[in-house]
A and B are shown apart, each in its own frame.
Chain A
């Protein structure tokens, strides 16, 4: 219905687009993406209702205008009437729209209420926007799906090769909408996402889920979704975040809960972030993008800790590390996260807390 209506205006208002109608094989192109959660379905239907109301009024008002343009032309000798007010019609066209709006506001309010009710989740995932990638952290505690995925950390980067972007290679099927490590969620479970950012505003948007939420640095916002059926769902950052804004897509793979548990176990879920990466032994975790303490160490800490610059204890120097390790891991984490002497917080990097901790674990393991 709605597709037909859209095509009618497409064709009516814009004859130039007529060839485009022929290209429109899939309806995805003409309307909101196919919804895959209850909330997204409500949004879709709400849009359809509002659009139809608008179209009916539009056709009515401009039907009048075009009739007038046809019938009241000077060129056919129409003489102007001289009325210039009519209280009755003016009251009618002020009051009637008001009631139409109330009719639209009622279903919209219901959707807002269900959209915002993120209570009692089955699983909670923290989403962090970075310039320019997404980080995902499966949280412990309330809503942790019996702990199967606790502590899994993923980083999701655009995987489209630069050669495709610069036209040196043909563009792939999911050009710009593909990542190295997608977010994985179970179907049929209420997944709450806690959304934040590391640097500037981003927005986490998956159209099929009806979720778009700004990621605000220093604050946590939430949203939720419950996916109907397994599949791969794609979205993009929706808030301008700098030069690579167009290149930080979101890919979510939804799988059956049993399959999800198996995926989580394979990726070190349920044991905490540190265990997942200690010594860099869990290759599955490394492959899937879970935290690798060694890599984190090498990218940041090694600069000072390998040569022992600025009083930094050398890596693997058992004597230097012994008193430090004796203070307990929490103290070491604390120094690494917040800085100590010449060492800036997180070594001056933008690593996540979990990455810093994993790097500390790696350093400790190396000095034992």
Chain B
């Protein structure tokens, strides 16, 4: 350990010697550089996936087919989902992990810096394959991000590119996770016991285990589709002794933990931000850790609640309903703890806090619609309708994305050494908040009234809510350009930030490191009391 630090120390004096220009980024093994690349990559993917959402909403603005044909519409829904999940949200939180975990546990860098480089650089080729699939004969797969067989077996070669992309993304995630687990378990500063770690680090430790457990399962599912397509197997073909529903079981065994892979780091960010702006320690730290762990464990036991209409046995429908409802308990504990953290605090509402509260309010709303959907007979009516679309966007966008925004505004000063523009930040929040609800709140009504998801055209009674939703979507999309402007402005010409711009922030990156954080975080480990 000390040898490693000594080694870093030598380099610290040679800061100017690392490669510059493009090669600096290609060859870097520095957790901050890699974190930055993850974050920019995810923002680019966010814009690409967002553009696809705009195409979807433009087509759905009024009934009839105007903008794209049904094939392209299906390709847009598929790629929008895959790109947002695997290209935008997941890499964003890996970016946070890279930047923050070494700083928060008092480590010099990640445990495996070269593997860190490789796990990032796998992402651009995978994303390229996904986007490229649009331009091969037959286009991208038009099957939804869930890639259900047998429809995915029917698709053109775009499906093969997608399968390959998923393999690469999976490898990247697994390597990233191994790195995170090893870093957290081995590189903590003296005195930084597990139960003293900031909650963000805890959430990533648990998420990394989830990733290691389920990414191979997804790889297995898509490989089975691949061999069904080209090598004569019949995993999903009844005529050959297979079963299409098998795909759904495998996919959702990955897919449900995946939901928490996205949500849990978001919990972590919010658990840093809310105490900081409440100027009061996180309420129920221990129960927060246990709640996250039990959510993670339960997430492996509820996958078939995505399949209530697939024809499960009655007993299975009942079991999955009970198990799914049970997730409400630890999730409720987290929400109550966050509110109790604010209770009798000394609250201020800078942009990170606004996004964290937006998260808390809207994620909880998404949690409640999740509870509604967990009830099997109700889900029979709502499955595969816009109600589900509304539900998971409340969790993914108002949940994960808002939390990521909260995190960016919170840590930008530490990352760049500059403050962002507070007024513009608050504008970004309010525009996002209003437009988000415009897009998705009305979709609950569409789903209740019977509008199926993944349709390019709809009956006229759904018109007004779809119009509201589309207008909201265009507004939300444009608001994100404001975010880009705020970040660029902060980097280039923001006011100089103090070492600890947030009064209530108490983790090591604020208390023990200057602003901007030095290239190598802790050359000698801090001692944690």
Contact = CB atoms under 8 A, between A and B. Distances in A.
Nearest to B242: A218
Given A14-B437, A68-B343, A246-B455, A166 B151 contact: no
B461 interface: yes
Contacts of A62: 361, 364
20 contacts: A10-B441, A20-B465, A31-B448, A54-B371, A58-B368, A61-B336, A61-B364, A72-B347, A84-B341, A101-B326, A105-B321, A105-B325, A108-B378, A116-B317, A166-B64, A167-B64, A214-B311, A218-B237, A219-B238, A239-B309
Given A74-B279, A80-B346, A171-B460, A108 B454 contact: no
B449 A29 contact: yes
A81 B278 CA distance: 10
B335 interface: yes
B205 interface: no
A13 B437 CA distance: 8
B151 A242 contact: yes
Interface in B382-400: 383-385
Contacts of A104: 325, 375
Contacts of B144: 240
B126 to A, nearest CB: 24
B452 A207 contact: no
Contact of B346 (A78, A112, A246): A78
Contacts of B465: 20, 29
A42 B376 CA distance: 12
B321 A205 contact: no
Interface in A313-338: none
Interface in A55-102: 57-58, 61-62, 64-65, 68-69, 72-75, 78-86, 89-90, 93-94, 97-98, 101
A47 B285 contact: no
A177 B455 CA distance: 13
A73 B344 CA distance: 9
Given A85-B285, A218-B244, A200 B150 contact: yes
A246 B332 contact: no
Contacts of B245: 216, 219
A5 interface: no
Interface in B284-298: 284-287
B283 A85 contact: yes
User: Binding site of B, secondary structure by majority: helix, strand, loop or mixed?
Assistant: helix
Interface string A203-225: 10101001111101111010000
A212 B347 CA distance: 48
A72 B343 contact: yes
A203 B309 contact: yes
B458 interface: yes
A50 B376 CA distance: 12
A89 B455 CA distance: 46
A219 B348 contact: no
Chain B's interface size range is 35 or more
Interface of A: 6, 10, 13-14, 16-17, 20, 23, 28-33, 39-40, 42-43, 46-47, 50-51, 54, 57-58, 61-62, 64-65, 68-69, 72-75, 78-86, 89-90, 93-94, 97-98, 101, 104-105, 108-109, 111-113, 115-116, 164-167, 171, 174-177, 199-201, 203, 205, 207, 210-214, 216-219, 221, 235-247
B464 A238 contact: no
Contact of B329 (A86, A101, A200, A236): A101
Given A69-B342, A74-B347, A85-B285, A210 B238 contact: no
B4 interface: no
A164 B65 CA distance: 9
A202 B318 CA distance: 23
Contacts of A42: 377
Contacts of B213: none
A116 B314 contact: yes
Given A47-B381, A116-B317, A175 B63 contact: yes
B346 A93 contact: no
B151 A201 contact: yes
Contact of A166 (B65, B336, B347, B437): B65
Contacts of A176: 63, 457-459
A171 B461 CA distance: 11
B216 interface: no
Contacts of B349: 69
B284 A90 contact: yes
Contacts of B461: 28-29
Contact of B457 (A68, A79, A113, A247): A247
A86 B332 CA distance: 16
Interface in B334-369: 335-336, 339-349, 357, 360-361, 364-365, 368
Contacts of B63: 171, 175-176
Contacts of B154: 199-200, 242
A205 B310 CA distance: 12
Given A54-B371, A108-B321, A242-B151, A210 B346 contact: no
Closest 7 CB pairs of A and B: A218-B238, A246-B455, A221-B311, A80-B346, A81-B344, A111-B377, A54-B368
A82 B74 contact: no
A61 B331 CA distance: 13
A246 B70 contact: yes
A241 B152 CA distance: 10
B329 to A, nearest CB: 5
B380 A210 contact: yes
